[in-house]
Amino acid sequence: GPPLLADFCVCTAAMDGAEETARRYMGKFVESNFYHYELLGPHFSTVKGYDAYAQKIAMAREIGMDGIVSAFMEAAVWGTPDRILRKFEERRAIVGEFELATSFRFGGTPFDLAESGLRLYAKEVLPVVRSWTKAGAPRS
């Protein structure tokens, strides 16, 4: 079947403040993962089979945490439903059909923000994405 894409999403009714909000919570999520898994530590360079990790960590050290968060935000979806759909259309042009596993609460996102984003996404994003499959049929 199609690939499953795990996404982190901040869905907002307007773009005003959306980037700052997304950066706040996505940034906290990214930072917590780096610290929890000690991703900036030296241990990956000494473990056989983790060469690719060591290379990625070296790049991460070069761009710093702000650069890492910016790269994460480039890959994630955030903003208005229209902006999110444009991002999905870009992905679709590259990978074809895909399935979604979307998280709305991460990095300390308040429950009300996560819930309002989830509801807006369900109302305005999901129907469009579903229409991209063969006649909107559910995938097995």
140 confidence band (pLDDT: 50, 70, 90): very low
φ, ψ dihedrals at 115, nearest 5°: -65, -45
Kindly state the average pLDDT of the residues 69-94: 97
Kindly state the average pLDDT of the residues 3-12: 97
Say what the pLDDT of residue 134 is. Answer: 67
Q: What is the CA radius of gyration of the chain?
A: 17
Asked whether the beta carbons of 56 and 9 are under 8 A apart, the reply is no
d(CA 51, CA 65): 21
The range of the structural domain enclosing residue 32 comes to: 4-136
Asked whether the beta carbons of 8 and 106 are under 8 A apart, the reply is yes
Lowest-confidence region among 11-25, 40-54, 86-100, 120-134? 40-54
Q: What is the pLDDT of residues 100-138, one digit of tens each?
A: 999 999 999 999 999 999 999 999 999 999 999 865 545
Please count the structural domains in the chain. Answer: 1
Quote the percentage of the chain above a pLDDT of 90: 71
Residue 11 pairs in a beta bridge with 79
Kindly state the average pLDDT of the residues 92-107: 96
